[in-house]
Structure 1
Amino acid sequence: MKIAVFLPNWIGDAVMATPALRAIRHQYPDAEIVTIQRPYVADALDGLDLVDRTISLKSGQNLVSRLQLLQQLRRERFDLSILFPNSFRSAWLAFLAGIPRRVGINRDGRGWLLTDAIPARDKQTPHPAIDEYLRIATFLVEEAQTDSEVSLPLSRTMELAVTEADQKRWKAFLDQQSAEFKSRPLICLNPGGAFGAAKHWPTAHFGELAERIANELDRSVLVVCGPAEKTEALQIVEQANHHLVTSLAAEPLHLGLTKAAIQQAELLVTTDSGPRHFAAPFQVPVVTLFGPTHILWSETYYDRGLHLQLDLDCGPCQQRVCPLGHHRCMKDLRADQVFRAVVSLLDQQNKKAA
C-alpha cells in the first residue's frame, strides 16, 4: 500500500500531528508513507521515522509548477490519502491526483471530494488540534480492527528528533560562547508568532524577563528566532543588557538549530507559536504566553507546561491583529507575572526531581 499524508501548513500543528502519524505508521507497518507538506514543516520533522519520503508543497507556485506537482502526485499512484488540513485545497489536490481513497474531516464544503468524510465538530467550540488529527487516525485504526479487538485511546505523545547535523549546528553556536554562559543552566525565550502581530509579547517585556532570569536566577538566556524575528531577538538582547543573554540572530538560522537549543534548555518561555511545541517532545518545561488565541485550540495536555492568559472582556478574539488597537491581552501581561511563573515551574520540576 502507498499512502499520501497531507500535513498541516503550520509548524506547531505538524508537531501536534505526530501522534496521529505514529498511529498510522503502526497501523500500516508495511506501507510506503509519503507526506506532502511545506518545506519548513519537513525541516521541523526531520530525523523522525514516521514517514518514508516527503514531497514539497511550495507556496506561490505558478501554473506550470502546480501542474508539475499534480503530475508528480498522479505518477505516484497512491492508494490512500489522509488529509490533516481542513482546507478545500488539500482535498481538491488529492481528488485531482486520482487518489482513489481520500480520508479527512468534512469541513469547508469539501465533503463531496472525500470518500471517507469524518463529521466535523462545531466550528465555534474550541477543540484541540491534536485530538482532531487523532480522530482521523482513530477512524483508520478502528476500521481495521476485528470485532474481538478493543479500541483504546491513541497516545497524545508528540515526537521530534535532533539530527546529527542539528547537533553540529548547536555545537558550532556553543563554541562561540563564553565558558560562563556554557556553565549555567539554559533558559530559552521564543518571541515568534507567524499567526500575526496579535500573538507577539512586547520586546521590552521579553528584555526585562531575560535580564531578571540572568540576574536573579543566575541562568544563561538564549533568544531563539526565525528569519522574521531576527530584529526582535537582537532588541531583546540589547534591552536585557546582560552578558548571559544572547540570541541565535547572528547564526545561519535553521529549525534544526532551534530544536537542538530547546532540547538542551532547562525551560522555555514562548508565545503561542510553532516552537512552543518543541518543548513537550523533549520533556522541557514550558511557559506559554497566550493573547488572542483560545488555549483549547492548541491544548496538548502536556504536564510540564504552564499557560498564562489574561482574563479580558475582549478576548480571546482569534484575530491576527488587535481589532481594538490596544493589544491589552499581551501588553498588560507583565514581565513580573511571567517571571513568577518561571520560578514556580522551575520549583515544581526541582521538587519532582528530588
Structure 2
Amino acid sequence: MSRPSAQTKRLQQIDGWVFPYICACFTFWRWLMDLIFRPDIKTAPKNIIFLKLAEQGSTVLANEAIRQAVAKVGKENVFFLMFEENRFILDVMDLIPRENVLTIRTKSAVSMVTSCLSRLWEIRRRKIDVCIDMEFFARASAIIAYMMGTRMRVGFHCYFGEGPYRGNLCTHRVLYNSHMHASKTFLSLVRALDNDPDAFPTFGFTPPAEMSLAHFKPEDSEREEVAAMLRELAGTDASGRTRRVILLNANASDLMPLRRWENSNYVELARRLLETHSDIAIAFTGGPSEAEKIGKLVAEVNDARCFSLAGKTTLRQLLIVYGLAEILVTNDSGPAHFAALTPVDVVVLFGPETPLLFGTLSPRNHNIWLGLACSPCINAWNNRQTACNNNLCMKNIPVSQVFDTVCSVYKQRTAHLQ
C-alpha cells in the first residue's frame, strides 16, 4: 500500500473539501488575535523555516531562494519542513545543516498527523520568526504555516485571481505570477521579506535573469564503486573502455499518469539508439517498486547492451550514475531536476505542464514540448488538477523527434573524439 503522501488524488480531495472551512475559521481567529495582540511583522527576522512538503524537483528549483535566506539570517538559522521521503535531495544540496531539516513521517495517516503535530510543537518551541510557504495554493500548508506560530508568514494569495481559497493567514501575501519560472517565484517569497507587508500585492522586485544551481559532488570512492557497477552491466567497447551509457527513465509508476510517455515508445527509442550507435549501452532507471515493470521493458528491447538499474542503486548512487552517463531521457519529473545537479545532458518530455515554468536550470537541458492548445492544463491556479483523461500532449510526441534530439546531443558530447 502506498504512503498517504503519495495518494495525490485523495489529498487533493481533502484539501478541497475540508481545509477551506478550516482556513476560514483560522482566518477569523487570526483577525481576532491580531486585534488583541498586534504582532510585530516588520522587524527583521533572525531565523526562517521553509515549508515544502512534497516534490523534490521543486526543492532543486528553490536553490537560489534558500541561498538568499541563508545570506539573510545565517546557515544555522534556516530550517525546512517536508515529508520524510523527500529530504534526500535537500541533504544532497547541502545548503543548511542536516539537523535543521524537520521531517513528517508518512507511513500511515495516523503517523502523518501525529508527526506533523510533533514538528509543529518543536517549531513553536524554537520561536522561529518566519515561515515561507512554498506550496502554491494548498490549503493544508497555509494551515500548517499558521499553526507554526511564526510572527511572519510568506505565501501566495490569489487576490482577484482564480486560485483556490486558502483564507487570509499570511502576513506577506505575494501575488502568484503564472508567467514567471518557478525558481524565480520561490526567490520572490524570500525577497518579499524586504517589502512592506501592507504594500502587497505591489512588489517592486525584479528577479535576476540567471538563477544559481546546486552541484552534486560525490566522494571518489563512491564514484569508483558506481563506475565499476556500470562497467559490469554496460560492458566494454572495442578499445576496452566502458560503453557510453544513455539512460531512459520510463517512469513506470502510476503516480502521475498524465505525465507519462508510453512505455512502448521507450522500447522503440532504445532499439533505434542501439542500432545506430554501436558504442553505447542503454540503461533503464527506476525505483524498487518499478523494477518488475522495467525488467519487462528491457526484455522487450532484447539486446545484450540494454539493462535495468531499477531498484539496484540508492538515490545517491543514482545521482552518480547520472554524472557518469551521457544523456538522460525522462518525462517532466523529479529525476530531470536531480540530473541537473550533475554533468549529464537531460532530454525532458513535457506535456500537461510547461517548461517555461518548470524546466530545469541546467545549461545541458533539452526540452521537448508540443505546445498544444490545451497544454499546460495543470497549474497552480487549478491546484494542479485537470479534467483531461487523454494526454495527447505526451502521446503525440513522436519517437523520431526524441531520437533525433538524443542523437544530436550525443554527437555534440562526443565531437571531441571524432
Q: TM-score range by the shorter chain?
A: 0.7 to 0.9
Q: Is the deviation greater in 71-80 or in 180-189? A: 180-189
Q: Deviations over 1:301-330 (max 9, x none)?
A: 5432222223545444338788354x4333
1:67-94: CA deviation from partner (whole Å, max 9, x where unpaired): 3232222222212222211222223212
CA contact (8 A) 1:166 1:256 kept: no
Contact 1:225 1:258 in 2 (8 A): no
Contact 1:45 1:160 in 2 (8 A): no
1:112 aligned residue (151, 164, 168): 168
**One-letter identity of the residue aligned with 1:343:** C
Q: Distance in 2 between matches of 1:61 and 1:290?
A: 32
SS at match of 1:180: coil
Q: Structure 2 CA distance, aligned partners of 1:169 and 1:348?
A: 28
Higher relative contact order (CA 8 A, sep 6+): 1
Task: Give the deviation of 1:255 after TM superposition.
Answer: 2.1
Question: What is the SS of the residue equivalent to 2:184?
Answer: helix
What is the CA deviation profile of residues 206-257 of structure 1, one whole-angstrom value per residue up to 9, with x for unaligned ones? 1121222233222122211123432332122112111121121252x53222
Residues 172, 193 of structure 2: 8 Å contact kept: no
Q: Give the letter for the 1:93 counterpart.
A: I
Superposition deviation, residue 278 in structure 1: 2.0
Aligned to 1:323: 388
Distance 1:308 1:191 in 2: 15
Match of 1:131 in 2: 184
Superposed displacement of residue 48, structure 1? 2.9
Deviation of 1:197 (Å): 0.9
Report whether the alignment pairs 1:197 with 2:250.
Answer: no
Q: Is the 8 A contact 2:354 2:369 kept in 1?
A: no
1:15-30 equivalences under 5 Å are 15-29=60-74
Change (3 A) 1:245 1:140: farther
- Write the letter of the residue equivalent to 2:48: I
Distance 1:225 1:141, change over 3 A: farther
Match of 2:356 in 1: 296
TM-score, scaled to structure 2: 0.72
**Aligned match of 1:95:** 146
CA distance in 1 between counterparts of 2:375 and 2:236 reads 42
CA RMSD of aligned residues (A): 3.1
The answer to whether the 8 A contact 1:128-1:300 is kept is: no
Structure 2's unaligned 5+ residue stretches are 1-45, 159-163, 197-204, 379-383
Q: Distance in 1 between matches of 2:267 and 2:225?
A: 25
Number of the residue aligned with 1:147: none
Deviation at 1:35, TM superposition (A): 0.9
Alpha-carbon shift at residue 203 of structure 1 (Å):
1.2
> Equivalences for 1:203-242 in 2 at 5 Å?
203-217=263-277, 218-242=279-303
Shift of 1:353: 9.6
Distance 1:324 1:283 in 2: 36
**Structure 2 match to 1:85:** 135
Superposed displacement of residue 267, structure 1: 1.2
Contact 1:214/1:221 (<8 A) preserved: yes
Match of 2:105 among 31, 55, 58: 58
Alpha-carbon shift at residue 342 of structure 1 (Å): 0.5
Find the counterpart in structure 1 of residue 246 from structure 2.
Answer: 187
Aligned equivalents of 2:320, 2:406: Cα separation in 1: 21
Question: What's 2:32 paired with?
Answer: none
- Structure 1 residues 328-347: aligned runs within 5 Å: 328-347=392-411
Change (3 A) 1:93 1:313: closer
CA contact (8 A) 1:289 1:309 kept: yes
User: Matched residue of 2:363: which SS?
Assistant: coil
Q: Which residue does 1:7 correspond to in 2? A: 52
Q: Aligned partners of 2:289, 2:393: CA distance in 1, in Å?
A: 22
Counterpart for residue 88 of structure 2: 43
Moved more, 49-58 or 22-31: 22-31
Q: CA contact under 8 A between 1:8 and 1:14: conserved in structure 2? A: no
